[in-house]
Chain A
Amino acid sequence: NAGVTQTPKFQVLKTGQSMTLQCAQDMNHEYMSWYRQDPGMGLRLIHYSVGAGITDQGEVPNGYNVSRSTTEDFPLRLLSAAPSQTSVYFCASSYSILPDPKYFGPGTRLTVT
């Protein structure tokens, strides 16, 4: 199993650009989530999904969209990037339908200039 994979590892965007961070897992996990990690703030939940076709907002959802068309994939879309979205983004998954960040991806470091 590859576990949880994220692409890209690094990305630089200009303000106003849009992009999609990819997340995939091959463990048939129901629960998938996106977090951002900022210095001094800890990890914060952006969006999560408890199964294909079901998504919900976390603590900091503004400026981000998600969809879950398959069990395996959970992409995070930045609609119009802002410098405040400069962060490290982690995707996580678990078998449980409860918020349970058991398996993390390696992270995507995003810089918005």
Chain B
Amino acid sequence: KNEVEQSPQNLTAQEGEFITINCSYSVGISALHWLQQHPGGGIVSLFMLSSGKKKHGRLIATINIQEKHSSLHITASHPRDSAVYICAGNRDDKIIFGKGTRLHILP
């Protein structure tokens, strides 16, 4: 079992829908990251958080340390949000990645 699990693995939605991607982890982590990888390969760091909630434009990331769970929300989704979203956690001096959620937003 992967120490960082994401759900769903794949998600297709219509433009404008509210999107939620979930990340659960089974080990203690000191920080959690959300990354975005567009088709073609480029990876962008969206958030690093260790508690609470962060917002950047239409993206919101939350983390619940007690429940070992984080969510990434996208409001008013747009086709340009189509990408793979990756959750990762800092454990000791390592970083552990989830396998990613492939999001496809239809116009």
Chain A residues with CB under 8 Å of chain B are 33, 40-45, 48, 56, 58-59, 88, 90, 92, 98-104, 106-107
Contact = CB atoms under 8 A, between A and B. Distances in A.
Interface of B: 2, 30-31, 33, 35, 41-45, 48, 86, 88, 90, 93-100
A106 B37 CA distance: 11
B41 A45 contact: no
| Nearest 7 CB-CB pairings of A with B | A104-B43, A99-B95, A42-B99, A43-B97, A42-B97, A102-B45, A107-B41
B95 A90 contact: no
Nearest to A109: B41
Contacts, number: 53
A98 B100 contact: no
Contacts of A33: 95
25 contacts: A41-B99, A42-B2, A42-B86, A42-B97, A42-B100, A43-B88, A44-B97, A48-B93, A56-B93, A88-B41, A92-B43, A98-B31, A99-B90, A99-B93, A99-B95, A100-B33, A100-B90, A100-B95, A101-B88, A104-B42, A104-B43, A106-B41, A106-B42, A107-B41, A107-B43
A60 to B, nearest CB: 11
Nearest to A33: B95
